[in-house]
């Protein structure tokens, strides 16, 4: 896929899936804006890897849940590059506990980052995409948002919310050639899943028809396809990459 000249913002690109997406977009020759919130050293490593592979990009720290920060960051990108073509709403977090133990702070953290963050970044970036009559927005959901998971009700709510949000926005912006799609991975080996109890991880492995967890690179390949010119007629869709865990 050749995305030469395209400006791509990837939220949460310092680690895990976001880093793999940023690297894949860099290999596809887009200019990658590497967002993160806290972990500057990891974000610098992501950018160094992009450059080492012949790509180009820049760092752009902001909290996706803070509207003022998103506004300022996106304005900075557009002031500098004169456009923004690709948005990957990847930044995410989880705080797992049974329903009865959920605290207001868990709600703020999980819904705030995953759902509010996706809404804010999409709202602010799509404003420019609508004006330029082009844009590709990819939102990271999860198989958990499609099928639920005990102990992850808040996370499931945030990720299911992203699916409904995507379909509604896809209808709003389609006339301006802006597409909005969801990529919903199954379980991947990242910092996030490292926190899952071992017993739960084993149970999931047994339930996956293809018998293994998905890799970050497999998710990134789907993102690159959706960012490219061959996916122009695809919008409002949910792409599960889950080894058949949810059909
Ligand atoms: P991860 O390894 O925990 O990395 C999370 C990333 O999000 C980091 O780059 C982090 O930045 C960033 N981030 C967190 N809160 C942020 C905020 N408020 N503002 C800006 N950046 C923020 O996560 P992951 O496992 O790669 O997951 C990435 C996405 O895929 C998430 O949306 C997740 O829900 C989804 N997903 C993951 C899995 C899985 O099995 N891992 C499965 C399905 C879907 P810092 O480094 O600065 O903290």
Closest residue (by CA) to atom 46 of ligand 1? 39
d(CA 113, ligand 1 centre) in Å: 9
Q: Which residues of 121-133 are buried (b: 16+ CB within 10 A; e: fewer)?
A: bbebbbebbbeee
Q: Which of 226, 185, 220, 229 is nearest to 53 (CA)?
A: 220
Is residue 36 in contact with ligand 1, taking CB distance under 6 Å? yes
Is residue 17 in contact with ligand 1, taking CB distance under 6 Å? yes
Instruction: Let me know if 128 is a catalytic residue.
Output: no
Token pair of 243 as six digits? 């080894």
Closest residue (by CA) to atom 19 of ligand 1? 63
Answer whether 110's CB lies under 8 Å from 155's CB. Answer: yes
85-100 pLDDT tens trace: 999 999 999 999 999 9
What are the residue boundaries of the structural domains of the chain, listed by start?
7-188+216-241
d(CA 21, ligand 1 centre) in Å: 12
Q: Of the residues 128, 155, 233, 246, which is catalytic?
A: 155
Say how far apart CA 35 and CA 124 lie, in whole Å. Answer: 15
* Residues in a beta bridge with 7: 31
Q: In this prediction, what percent of the chain has a pLDDT beyond 70?
A: 99
Ligand 1 atom with the smallest distance to the CA of 214 is 40
Q: Looking at 42-46, 180-184, 198-202, 204-208, which range is the least confident one?
A: 198-202
137-173 pLDDT tens trace: 999 999 999 999 999 999 999 999 999 999 999 999 9
Is residue 215 in contact with ligand 1, taking CB distance under 6 Å? no
196-211 pLDDT tens trace: 788 877 887 899 999 8
Say how far apart CA 75 and CA 118 lie, in whole Å. Answer: 17
Q: For 111, which DSSP code?
A: I
Q: In this prediction, what percent of the chain has a pLDDT beyond 90?
A: 91
* CATH number belonging to the domain at 7-188+216-241, selected among 3.40.50.720, 3.30.420.40, 3.40.50.300, 1.10.10.60: 3.40.50.720
* Mean pLDDT of all residues belonging to the chain: 96
Q: Does residue 60 have a pLDDT over 70?
A: yes
Q: Cα-flanking dihedrals φ and ψ of residue 240, to 5°?
A: -80, 130
pLDDT of residue 192: 66
Ligand 1 atom with the smallest distance to the CA of 15 is 9
d(CA 48, ligand 1 centre) in Å: 19
Ligand 1 atom with the smallest distance to the CA of 155 is 34
Give mean pLDDT, residues 225-247.
97
Q: Which of 142, 138, 140, 143 is nearest to 209 (CA)?
A: 143
d(CA 94, ligand 1 centre) in Å: 9
């Amino acid at each position: 896929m050749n995305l030469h000249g395209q400006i791509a913002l990837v939220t949460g690109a310092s680690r895990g899936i976001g880093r793999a997406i940023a690297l894949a977009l860099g290999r596809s020759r887009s200019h990658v804006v590497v967002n993160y919130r806290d972990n500057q050293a990891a974000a610098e490593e992501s950018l160094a890897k992009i450059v080492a592979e012949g790509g180009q990009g820049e760092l752009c720290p902001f909290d996706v849940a803070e509207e003022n920060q998103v506004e300022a960051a996106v304005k900075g990108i557009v002031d500098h590059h004169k456009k923004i073509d690709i948005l990957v709403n990847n930044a995410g977090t989880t705080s797992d506990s049974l329903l009865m133990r959920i605290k207001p702070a868990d709600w703020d953290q999980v819904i705030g980052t995953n759902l509010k963050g996706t809404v804010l970044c999409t709202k602010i970036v799509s404003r420019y995409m609508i004006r330029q009559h082009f844009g590709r927005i990819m939102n990271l959901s999860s198989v958990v948002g499609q099928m639920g998971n005990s102990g992850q009700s808040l996370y499931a709510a945030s990720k299911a919310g992203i699916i409904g949000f995507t379909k509604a926005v896809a209808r709003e912006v389609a006339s301006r050639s802006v597409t909005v799609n969801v990529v919903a991975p199954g379980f991947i080996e990242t910092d996030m899943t490292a926190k899952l109890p071992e017993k739960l991880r084993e149970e999931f492995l047994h339930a996956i028809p293809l018998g293994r967890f998905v890799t970050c690179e497999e998710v990134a390949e789907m993102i690159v396809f959706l960012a490219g010119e061959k996916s122009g007629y695809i919008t409002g869709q949910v792409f599960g990459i889950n080894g058949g865990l949810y059909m």
